[in-house]
Amino acid sequence: MSVHISAKKGEIAKTVLMPGDPLRAKYIADNYLTDSKLVSKTRNIFFYTGFYKGKEITVGASGMGFPSIGIYSFELFTEYEVDTIIRIGTCGAYTTDLKLFDILNVENAASESTYAKFAWGIEEDAISNQGSAFEKINETAKELNLTVKATNIHSSDIFYRKDPAVPEIAVKHDCPAVEMEAFALFANAKHLRKNAATILTVSDIIPTHEQISADEREMALRKMMELSLETAIKF
């Protein structure tokens, strides 16, 4: 048991899939895992542990933003001795070169945030995925005949902003899309020498205001969920 996760030692698997939304974690557990058990519901952030094709996997929500995923991933890595975390989420595209429903495998996360600097003394403004998860995702996508784009991502503290221009850091690091968690996850994993990856589905095209409807999201995200599950059983 940690400060923010009430699971007992041994109730969290070595590989954890982390959507942002607790209800998305529940959906994955209900629809893909066998013998799944709710092992933590502190603050209504749900963690389920079960089996996928015989492999024990935990699915748990990260919440939104660096502080939230920073806390949960750190406690998973240190208190529960988790080896691998794969974030599965959505992102907004800065460019029409990306399309709704595109699946991205994040190579580097760039951010203006001071999270990595003040937490771990990491000065870089871009941090790569950690360990072998990124390559395993690419391998699994090929096996599933899924088109997955390896790309950099802008990880931002800001959801709403006054200036509509693409932020300077996204231009600097050639980031075609934005989300809010990968940079902190990668920073924690880098410091602790763990595996960390991020798979994203494009849910919004910012320049054109296109977006996946609420009704479409469940089906739209299933390919990403299945990709993460098939990758997870390789660890």
Task: Tell me if residue 204 is catalytic.
Answer: yes
CA angle 209, 215, 216 (to 5 degrees): 65
Separation of alpha carbons 201 and 217, rounded Å? 10
Active-site choice (83, 125, 157, 204): 204
In this structure, which amino acid lies at residue 206? Answer: I
- Residue 92 CA: distances (Å) to CA of 59, 67, 114, 122, 211: 23, 20, 22, 26, 9
d(CA 154, CA 173): 8
Can you give the length of the chain in residues? Answer: 235
Q: Which residues contact 174 (CB under 8 A, 6 or more apart)?
A: 152
Return the active site residues: 204
